[in-house]
Chain A
Amino acid sequence: MKYDYILMRYGEIALKGRNRKKFIHRLHENVLGKLKEFPAIKIKSDRDRMYILLNGENPEPIITKCKNIFGIQSISLAIKVENDEIQIKQAALHALTEAIGAKTFKITAKRINKKFPIGSQEMNQILGGHLLSNTDGYTVDVHYPDVEINVETREDATYITSNKILGAGGLPVGTAGKTLLLLSGGIDSPVAGYMTMKRGVQLEIIHFHSPPFTNDRAKQKVFDLAEQLTSFGGKIKIHMVPFTNLQQRIYSEIPHGYSMTVMRRVMMKISEAVAKKEKILSLTTGESLGQVASQTMESMNAINDVTNYPILRPLIAMDKEEIITVSQKINTYDISIRPYEDCCTIFVPSSPKTKPRKEKVLQFESAMDFTEDLKNTINQIEVVEITKASKEDDEFSDLL
C-alpha cells in the first residue's frame, strides 16, 4: 500500500457563493498548467477540494510545485480506499508507519457519508486500537500528536491522510484581473508583485532601462525576477521601455532637486499608456511609505497626480525587514541584490526633494515638451514573454 493521491484543500474559495465554480475552474487550470511535466497524473476538482491521482508519479516534486499555487490552503498525501473497515485499517496503519520521526499520533475520523455504518467516534476508537496493537513504540496523544491521521469517509471512497502541508493561501491567479507592475530590479517590487498575485491578480511587468548606462545583466536580472514570479502563476509579459533618451533630457532640463519627481511622473504616464493599451485596470508599485525620497507623502501625491488609474501599493505599510523576509521566502532576494545599475540608480541627483511641491513640478515641466519623446518611447517598447522555460533555457537544458 502506498500514497496514491494528493489532496488539496481550497482556501478562501470555499467561502465564495455563486461564482465559486469560476474560481475552482481557474484553480484547476492553474494546477494543470503547473504540473504539465507529470503526464501520468489525473486531476479532479470537487466543491471543496482537489485530488491529484498520482498514477505512480513521485509525490515530492508535485507537492513542491503545488505549494506555490495560490488558492490552496493545505496539501496532504492521501490513500484512497473503499468504504470498507479492513481497507481503512490497513491504510491508517500505513499512514502512521510512513510518518518519519513520529512517536505519538491521533486519529480524526469524519463520516460525511452517513450511510456508512461506523460513526466517527467509533471509528476513532477502532483505528486507535488497531494501530496500537499492530505497532511498537507509538502512543496516542490527542493534544499534541506528532502526526494526525485524518480519515474521511465520503460518498465515493474513504481518504486517509496524515500531516497537512501548508499551501500558499490566497486566491487563484487570474480570478481578479490584471495589474501592471512597475519592476525596477530592487528588492521591493517583486514582493509587491507576489502579494498582488496572492490575491488572484495576473501580472504584467513594465521595466524602464537605459542602455548603455544599464547593461544586459541588469536586463537579465529583470527576466530572472519575472521567471521567479512565474512560479506563482502562469506566464508573464514584460514591457521593456527604452528610457535613455527621456532620462537624459529630464536630467539636463529639469533642476536636479526635481528631476527624480519628474522622472517618476513620466514613468507613470508611460505605464498608464501601456495599461490602457493592454486593457489592464491598475498599476502596482513596491513603494513603502517613507522609505526613500520618492516615497514620502508629498512625493507620492506629486507623482500620483499624472494618472487616474488606481495604483496598488501592497507594501505601503511594511518595514524593509519585513519586505526582505518575504523576498527571501519567494526566492527573489538573491536575484534582487545582484549589483547592477538600474534606471533608478543612474542620473540620481545628490539630494532629491523629499517634499516636492506640485506647482513647482508643473512649472518645470511646462518649460519642456515631452510629447514627441513620450510617443517615440512608447512606440519603441519591446515586449518579452517569460515562461518557466523560455527558448534560450531550452538550449541550455540540452547541454545540461
Chain B
Amino acid sequence: MIYLDNSATTKPFPEVLDSFKQVTEKYYGNPSSIHRFGADAERLLSKARQQAAQLMQVHAEEIVFTSGGTEGNNVAIKGIALAHQNRGKHIITSQIEHPSVFEACRSLEELGFTVTYLPVNTDGVVAALDVKRAITKETILISIMHVNNELGSIQPIQQIGEIAKQYPKLFFHVDNVQGFGKIPQKLENSGIDLCTISGHKIHGLKGTGLLYVKKNTKIFPLFDGGGQEGNYRSGTENVAGAVSLVKAMRLILDKQSREVENLTERTALLIKKLEQINTVIINTPNQRAPHIVNISVPDYKPEVIIHALGEKEIYISTKAACSSKKPDESAVLSACGFNKNISESALRISLNYQTTEKEIELFCQSLTETIQQLSEVMG
C-alpha cells in the first residue's frame, strides 16, 4: 500500500498507541475524583499539559485539550464571538478556510454577526494588508489558517499577528491543524490569541487535539458542566487521549527539527516527476508547506483516478476529505481563481516523514499508467 493522503489523516505512531493503551489500562481514574487513584490521573494529565506547553513554548494553563481540529476551531470562533459580542459583531476570515472555520462563521452570521471572507491570490495566499484594511471598530476576531489543507499554501501569520497586536480589542485565531509539525510557529509574543491543533494529523489518534488559549482570554464555553479544562470545555478529561496527543506532538516536532529538509526534497521530487507527465497541471504554489501537492488532470473526473489508483492500493484524495461529500468544484481552488476545468479536477497528494522516494516513483508511474488507460477508454 502507498498511503499519500496524510492531510486527511495519518497512521498513528506505534509509541502513541502504546501510551494510549497503557494509560487507559493503568490510569483510568477520573481526574476529578478525590481519591488517590483519581489524583494519579490528574497528575498525569497535568504533566501532559506541562509538556504540551513546553513543546509550544507557552504556559500550561493556556492549553485546552479538545477532541480535535473541528472542536478547537468551533470553541475558538464561537467562544470568542459569544463572549465579546458586546464589543462588536464583526469577524474576519478567508475564503479558503477549513469547513469547521467557514461553517462556524456561517452559523454566527445567522446569529447576527457580520463576516468578511477575504479573497486570496492565485497562490492561495491572503494578503496581510487586506486583513488590516478589513478591520473595523466592530471587529472582534480574525481567524486565518496557517497552512491550507488543499493547496499547501502558507498564510502570512506572522504579519497578521503584528497587525493584530495593534488592535488590543480583537482576537487572532490560527487554525494550525496542517502546519503543526511541518512549519515552526511561534506563539509567544506573536499576536496570536488562539491556535488549533489536531492529533490525528500528526500521527496521533482521532478524537484528540488541543486549543491554545492565551492567558486572560475570555471565551464563552460551548460545553457547560463540571468545569474541566479551565472551564473552557467541560466533560470528563480524556487522559489517555491527551497523553497520546502530547507524545505525538513530541515525536512530530522531533521529526520536524531533523527531517523536514528531507520531506521538502521528496515533495520537490514528486512535483518534478509530476511535471513530466503531460496531462498534469501543478496547482500548489512555489511557496508551499513541505508535505502537500495539489494537481489537476483536466478533463478526467478526479473520482475516477482516485478509484483506479485505489485498485492498486495507492491512496490520494480529491479535495479535502471533509468536503469531498459536496459535489462540484473545490471552493479553495476556485477562490484562488483557477478556472472551473482545473478546480473540478483537482487531486491532492500529501506525504509524511516516512514517505520514501520509491513510493513516489511508484505513484508517479501508476498515475501515468492510469491516465493512459483512461484516455484509451475515453479516447
B39/A399 in contact, CB under 8 A:
no
Within 8 A of B (CB), among A378-394: 392-393
> Is B47's CB under 8 angstroms from A396's CB?
yes
User: Which B residues between 281 and 305 are near A, CB-CB below 8 angstroms?
Assistant: none
Asked whether B34 lies within 8 Å of A400 as measured between CB atoms, the reply is no
The residue from B34, B47, B243, B247 contacting A393, defined by CB atoms under 8 A apart? B47
Asked whether any CB of chain A lies closer than 8 Å to the CB of B61, the reply is yes
Once A220-B43, A334-B61, A393-B47 are accepted as A-B contacts, the answer to whether A399 and B247 lie under 8 Å apart by CB is: yes
**How far in angstroms is the closest Cβ of chain A from B197?**
16
User: Is the Cβ of A216 less than 8 Å from the Cβ of B36?
Assistant: yes
Residues of B within 8 A of A216 (CB): 35-36, 39
Q: Across the interface, which residues of B come within 8 angstroms of A396, CB to CB?
A: 43-44, 47
Q: Which residues on B sit within 8 Å (CB–CB) of A217?
A: 34, 39, 42
B372 within 8 A of A: no
B48 within 8 A of A: yes
Bound Cα distance A220, B43 (Å): 9
- The minimal Cβ–Cβ distance linking B350 to chain A, given in whole angstroms, is 27
With A and B bound together, what is the CA distance between A334 and B46 in angstroms?
12
Q: How does the 8 Å CB contact mask read for B24-68 relative to A, with 1 for contact and 0 for none?
A: 000000000011100100111001100100000000010000000
**Is the CB of A125 closer than 8 A to any CB of chain B?**
no
Q: With a CB–CB cut-off of 8 A, which chain A residues contact B43?
A: 220, 392, 396
Given contact pairs A217-B39, A220-B39, A400 touches B61 in the complex (Cβ within 8 A) = no
Contact in complex: B19, A399 (CB < 8 Å): yes
- Cβ of A215 < 8 Å from any Cβ of B? yes
Residues of B within 8 Å of A392, CB to CB, are 43
Which residues does chain A contribute within 8 Å of B243, judged by CB atoms? 399-400
Residues of B within 8 A of A400 (CB): 19, 47-48, 51, 243, 246-247, 250
Residues in chain A near residue B51, CB distance under 8 A:
400
State in angstroms the CA–CA spacing of A350 and B39 once bound together.
31
Query: Which residue of A has the minimal Cβ distance to B239?
Result: A399
Asked whether B140 is an interface residue with its Cβ less than 8 Å from the other chain, the reply is: no
Verify B34–A399 contact, CB threshold 8 A: no
Main secondary structure of the interface of A (DSSP, over half): helix
Q: Which of B228-252 contact A (CB under 8 A)?
A: 243, 246-247, 250
Q: Are A399 and B23 in contact (CB under 8 A)?
A: yes
Closest residue on chain A to residue B19 by CB atoms: A399
Instruction: Give residues 246-288 of B contacting A (CB, 8 Å).
Output: 246-247, 250
Taken together as a complex, chains A and B put the C-alpha atoms of A392 and B247 apart, in Å, by: 17
Quick check: A399 and B44 within 8 Å, CB to CB? yes
Kindly state the separation between the CA atoms of A360 and B247 in the bound complex, as whole angstroms.
61
A215, A217, A220, A399: most-surrounded residue (chain B CB, <10 A): A399
Write the chain B residue with the least CB distance to A223.
B43
Q: How many residues of B contact A (CB 8 A)?
A: 18
* B365: Cβ under 8 A from any A Cβ: no
Instruction: Indicate if the CB atoms of A399 and B22 lie closer than 8 Å.
Output: yes
Nearest to B52 among chain A residues (CB) is A400
Q: Which residue of B lies closest to A61 (CB)?
A: B54
Q: What's the nearest-Cβ distance from chain A to residue B84, in Å?
A: 25
Which residues of chain B come closer than 8 Å to A399, judged between CB atoms? Answer: 19, 22-23, 44, 243, 247
The smallest beta-carbon distance between B219 and chain A, in angstroms, is: 19
Chain A, 62-98, CB within 8 A of any chain B CB: none
Q: CA of A303 to CA of B130 in the docked complex: distance in angstroms? A: 68
Chain A's closest residue to B242 (CB) is: A400
Query: How many whole Å from A280's CB to the nearest CB in chain B?
Result: 30
How would residues 71 to 105 of chain B score, 1 for a CB under 8 Å from any chain A CB and 0 otherwise?
00000000000000000000000000000000000
- Which residues from chain A contact B34 at a C-beta distance below 8 Å? 215, 217
CA A217 – CA B35 in complex, angstroms?
Answer: 9
- With the chains together, A215 CA to B43 CA distance in Å? 14
Separation of A68 and B153 alpha carbons in the complex (Å) = 41
Which residues does chain B contribute within 8 Å of A334, judged by CB atoms? 61
**Chain A: which residue is nearest B249 at the CB level?**
A400
Distance, CA A220 to CA B31, complexed state (A): 14
- Please, how many angstroms separate the alpha-carbon atoms of A396 and B239 in the complex? 12
Within 8 A of B (CB), among A338-371: none
In the assembled complex, which residues on chain B have CB atoms less than 8 Å from the CB atom of A393?
Answer: 47
> Which residues in A have their C-beta under 8 angstroms from that of B250?
400
Closest CB of chain A to B216's CB: distance in Å?
13
CB-based nearest B residue for A217: B39
* Residue in chain A with minimal CB distance to B42: A217
User: Considering the chains assembled together, what is the distance between the CA atoms of A127 and B206 in angstroms?
Assistant: 57
CA A393 to CA B23, docked complex, whole Å: 14
For the complex, what is the distance from the CA of A334 to the CA of B51, rounded to whole Å? Answer: 16
**Whole-angstrom distance between the alpha carbons of A220 and B243 in the complex?**
20
* A114–B247 alpha-carbon span in the complex (Å): 55
Interchain nearest-CB distance for A358 vs B (Å): 41
Which residues from chain B contact A220 at a C-beta distance below 8 Å? Answer: 39, 43
Interface members, chain A 201-258 (any B CB < 8 Å): 215-217, 220
Q: Please report the C-alpha to C-alpha distance between residue A400 and residue B246 in the assembled complex, in whole angstroms.
A: 6
Q: Give the complex CA separation of A392 and B250 in angstroms.
A: 20
Q: Determine the distance from Cα of A217 to Cα of B42 in the docked complex, in whole angstroms.
A: 10
Residues of B within 8 A of A215 (CB): 34, 39
Residues of A within 8 A of B47 (CB): 393, 396-397, 400
Alpha-carbon gap, A94 to B51, bound state (A):
33
Chain A proximity of B190: nearest CB distance (Å): 13
Q: Which residues of A contact B44 (CB under 8 A)?
A: 396, 399
A357 to B26, CA, bound (A): 55
Enumerate 23 A-B pairs (CB-CB under 8 Å) in ascending A order: A215-B34, A215-B39, A216-B35, A216-B36, A216-B39, A217-B34, A217-B39, A217-B42, A220-B39, A220-B43, A393-B47, A396-B43, A396-B44, A396-B47, A399-B44, A399-B243, A399-B247, A400-B19, A400-B47, A400-B51, A400-B246, A400-B247, A400-B250
A-B interface, 9 closest residue pairs, ranked by CB to CB distance from nearest = A399-B19, A396-B47, A216-B36, A216-B39, A400-B51, A400-B246, A217-B39, A399-B243, A400-B247
> Known pairs A215-B39, A396-B43. 17 more at Cβ < 8 A?
A217-B34, A217-B39, A220-B43, A334-B61, A392-B43, A393-B47, A396-B44, A397-B47, A399-B19, A399-B23, A399-B243, A400-B19, A400-B48, A400-B51, A400-B243, A400-B246, A400-B247
